[in-house]
Structures are given as structure tokens and as C-alpha cells.
Amino acid sequence: MIRSIDDSLRTPRHGMLAVLACGLLAASAGSAAAAVEREGPHDWGITLIAAEAMPPAEHVGLTVETLGVVPAESMQATVGLDGHVLQLRAITIAPGGQIAAHPHTTRPGLVKVVAGEWVEGRLEGETTYTANGSDALVEDEHTTHWFFNRGDMPATALVCDIVPEG
């Protein structure tokens, strides 16, 4: 991310100038996005996000295999969770493929890469998860992310999550 601010825009009455400057930055950068942030009563920030840092809007090159499902009746009987299932899937991203940006506000999960590398994108930056790493990715209510496979081989992860039935 590129971040810039001009001191002459640091007053509340110049907030519209910050908005206009934001639009001009995005337009001059070509395929990019820009955002205005009010950092305080007299501070306006402009953030320019390069096109390659933009979250993808669609899935590309995915194969999803369901490995198992704990049915809703069992979830209700064992943990008291009504109307949800626990599922385990193997998700493979083809080389150059991606998983679109998505939130986990109502869909907690765990992800473990078992072949290749998944590059997780978040607004804060990127993290790479590999098959030989010992770390798993926790998807909680605060998670919004997307994934890329930038390698030259398919990359697979086991994904276990709780989802609404149906």
C-alpha cells in the first residue's frame, strides 16, 4: 500500500479536498483503489491500493471435494448447535487460481495446507502457508480474507468449518 497525505489537507474544512485528491490518485494510478480516512478531527489520510493488492471478486481454478459431514441432527445432539453442520473438505487451487474475498462472521473454520502453498490476503497484508509448515489458519468472526496459488503446481488444503445446514 502507498500512503500519502499533504499537510495542507489537515483541516476539517478541507475534507472534500481529501476526497477529491483520493479520486485523482486512484484515476492516475490506473487500475487501483483509493480510500479517504478521517484519522482525527484535523487529520485526513489517503490510502492508495495497487491493483495487484485488490481482493479478488471471483473464484478461479478451484476444485472442492467434500470428505465428510457431521449432520445437523448430530450437531444438535452433541453440542446443542441447531441448524448447522460440521464439514471437512479438500480444496485445491490450480496454479494461478484464487479464492474470492469472503468473511467468516458466521462461519468459523480451520485450514491446513497439505500440498503446495496458499497465499492468504487480508487488508493488512499477505501470509504464505505451506504444506511443510506446522501452522493452521484459524477463521474466526473477525476474518475476511482471500487466497492465491502463485506456484506452478496445484495447492491443496483441508478445510473444516461449521456452516448452516442446506
Close Cβ partners of 36 (under 8 Å, ≥ 6 residues apart): 15, 18, 19, 22, 44, 45, 46
Q: Which of 24-33, 45-54, 108-117 has the highest mean pLDDT?
A: 108-117
For the chain, which residues make up each domain, given as ranges?
A: 2-53, 60-164
Tens digits of per-residue pLDDT, 54-91? 899 999 999 999 999 999 999 999 999 999 999 999 99
The cell numbers describing 124, all together, are 493488512
The pLDDT score that the predictor gives to residue 41 is 54
Q: What is the mean pLDDT of the chain?
A: 80
Residue 119, pLDDT > 70, answer: yes
Please name the helix (run of DSSP H) or strand (run of DSSP E) that holds residue 19, with its range, or none: helix 15-28
DSSP alpha helix (H) spans, 29-100: 72-79
Domain 60-164: state its class: mainly beta
Percent of the chain with pLDDT over 70: 68
Least confident of 21-30, 43-52, 54-63, 156-165: 21-30
